[in-house]
Chain A
Amino acid sequence: MAQLISRLRVWRGAVLLLAGVYFLVPMAASVWFSVNDVNGIDFDAYTGLLSAPGFTESLVLTLELAAVTVVVLLLLLVPAMIAVRLGSPRLRPVLEVVCALPLVVPPVALTAGLIGVLRWGPDHLMDTPFFQTMVFVQQPEFPLVLVIAYVLMSLPLAHRALDAGLRAVDVRTLVEAARNCGASWPRAVFSVILPNLRGALLNASFLTLALVLGEFTAASILGYQPFSVWIYSVGNSQGQMSVAVSVLSLLITWVLLLLLAAAGRERRTTAAS
């Protein structure tokens, strides 16, 4: 028995060691690549980022897109999910299908479909007010069409996160209690349900944020230049800088997920107390 256990331990150690090597080596090599220069180590690739042309504009555009996407997504999804929990279980399968369908369509295909729709504009809708809408969603300063794509892509993630949060609290009892105590509908939702969903809301927001920060397919094919597309164009000319940005983006994802984990932990402790 003791022999078996020690053999298991060796096996486990070997598996984890090999995995560790595979996953750490590219990271270490990337960091080394980004600071390694003919004259020794220097951090030009990192310090030069801020002054690189297009860096600020693309980053600001991405952050704006991310913020609008998160707001639109939560405004659409949260009321619908709460209402379905409270009022009509018959609508629940509809909501589940709606939130799962975007998984079936790869981002490239969704983008192709969006371009197909946008082509209707000049083709058929020239003389109708819809044409102005088509132009409006494609304006280069703030491409709303990307927000539409991002909201659709993050629907499955956000739905799963919010669903987990809603499962943990008994929404119906909470609302009935609040209503019986004389709270109005908005008050019941805003001061009773939403505080209980804080962790889930943060969770959904972070996942969406991470998705928008890294999204490349739709933006590049539709011809806009948020941060990811900017990185791509930099990669063609300045290899070191693109690797530096990759390292940074890994760190940002890491921080986001740590925040997410912290938010989740906080929720668990409040539920336990």
Chain B
Amino acid sequence: MTTAPTPVPTPAATDPGGGPGASRTASSPTPAGRVPAARRGLRGGTWLATVPLLAFFAIGFGLPAVAILTGAFTVSSDAETGGGDFTTANLTESVQGAYWTALLSSLKLSALTALIGTAVGVPIAQAVVTSRFRMLREAVLTASGVLANFGGLPLAFAFVATLGNAGELTELFHLTDHGWSLYSFTGLTVAYLYFLVPLMVLTITPALDGLRVQWREAAQNNRATTLQYWRHVALPILFPSLLGGYVLLFGSAFAAYATAAAMVGATVPLISRQIADALSGNVLVGQGNLALALSLDMIIVAILVMAVYLPLQRRSARWLS
């Protein structure tokens, strides 16, 4: 579209002091002193360009973070503003009774759906990667992109229409008579897989692409069976990517709110729903700080999960590039 890239290599190559080395060292010879001036302007410009983002982040993200931390540790006092007393009561309450059940149920749902998502997504991705048809590959990857973004309300309504009490499949096969209910833990699992499996396909495809044919051939030449190849070569290399994908799925399922809210209501307790209820005062007035304590619980889980994910992502990049 643009013609801008074309003339680029020429001036940089013919510039006497040019090249990447010159741009980094200030002492290199530069023509007519123009570049140092430019660089000085740039240094001021760097701040001018990054400060708005950092300031926005400090206010938009920093203040809520402070609010969560301080709120979680102060006395819940919505009625009179005598707050400010330090307490761990909110946090203690947030891991007890119904809240603890909700947290456990959220963890269980996320761990289970992420596990199934990984186990189902990898074979699909592998089938796509090894397929001879380019069209199939493109089609599956585009569809995965759409479906991975198809969380939230639309997903809930689509499943209610399909497998809900008056859903098409439910009526067609009389599923209710067989004990099926969409508004249960199982139902929620089936619905979550609808966006988690495509997410796994998208995540793992680059890693599967990175498995070299030569590795497989080398294994075969050494008389390894397919099973042995996967057990001793492919899976160890894929392991960081697999775990990374699992963590990503876990995080998505853990943070999800809309699907569960629209689909199952209160039948399956989830921590995200408990926070929303506490915030909107559905249960009791004056639970604002409890909601913040619950949020803190959620963030701690997410941080633990991320602490596993980020180093692994870097490690897998070493083999598969």
Contact = CB atoms under 8 A, between A and B. Distances in A.
Interface of A: 4, 8, 11-12, 15-16, 19, 22-23, 25-27, 29-30, 32-34, 36, 75-77, 79-80, 82-84, 86-88, 91, 94-95, 98, 100-117, 119-120, 123-124, 148-149, 151-152, 169-170, 172-174, 176-177, 179-181, 185, 191-192, 195-196, 198, 210, 214-217, 220-221, 223, 228, 231-232, 235, 239, 242-243, 245-247, 249-250, 253-254, 257-258, 261, 266, 270-271
Interface string B6-26: 011101100100101001000
A98 B53 contact: yes
Given A26-B158, A26-B159, A177-B7, A232 B153 contact: yes
Contacts of B66: 117
B304 to A, nearest CB: 10
Contacts of A247: 154, 158
Contacts of B275: 108-109, 112
B5 interface: yes
A247 B38 CA distance: 54
B206 interface: no
A221 B52 contact: no
Interface of B: 1-2, 4-5, 7-9, 11-12, 15, 18, 20, 23, 34-35, 38-39, 41-43, 45-46, 48-50, 52-54, 56-57, 60-61, 63-68, 70-71, 81, 83, 120, 123-124, 127-128, 130-131, 136, 140, 142-143, 145-147, 149-155, 157-163, 166-169, 194, 197-198, 226, 251, 254-255, 257-258, 261-262, 272, 275-276, 279-280, 288, 291-292, 294-296, 298-299, 302-303, 306, 310
B277 to A, nearest CB: 10
B53 A242 contact: no
A105 B299 contact: yes
B41 A105 contact: no
A125 to B, nearest CB: 11
A23 B120 CA distance: 13
Contacts of A88: 43, 46
Most-contacted residue by chain B among A100, A257, A266 (CB, 10 A)? A257
Contact of A246 (B9, B41, B154): B154
A33 B162 contact: yes
Most-contacted residue by chain A among B64, B70, B128, B150 (CB, 10 A)? B64
- The secondary structure that dominates the A interface is helix
A258 B258 CA distance: 25
Given A123-B83, A174-B8, 5 more contacts: A16-B140, A19-B120, A23-B198, A117-B64, A180-B11
B187 to A, nearest CB: 12
Contacts of B310: 100
A109 B50 contact: no
A33 B161 contact: yes
Contacts of A242: 157
A249 to B, nearest CB: 5
A109 B194 contact: no
Nearest to B1: A270
A26 B169 CA distance: 9
Given A106-B255, A116-B67, A195-B2, A26 B50 contact: no
A86 B61 contact: no
Given A110-B64, A180-B11, A239-B160, A192 B154 contact: no
8 contacts: A12-B127, A30-B161, A95-B50, A108-B255, A114-B67, A152-B61, A198-B2, A247-B158
Given A29-B168, A98-B54, A235 B262 contact: yes
A104 B2 contact: no
Contact of B162 (A11, A26, A105): A26
A103 to B, nearest CB: 7
Given A29-B162, A33-B162, A113-B64, A176 B18 contact: yes
Contacts of A27: 158
A196 B154 CA distance: 36
A87 B149 contact: no
Contact of A116 (B123, B157, B262, B292): B292
A20 B198 CA distance: 11
Contacts of B2: 195-196, 198, 270
Nearest to B280: A221
B60 A152 contact: yes
B295 A87 contact: no
Contact of A80 (B15, B20, B49, B226): B49
B4 A32 contact: no
A99 B29 CA distance: 37
Contacts of B20: 172-173
The 4 nearest A-B residue pairs measured at CB: A113-B64, A116-B67, A106-B255, A246-B154
A169 B118 CA distance: 34
A111 B255 CA distance: 12
B151 A109 contact: no
B154 A250 contact: yes
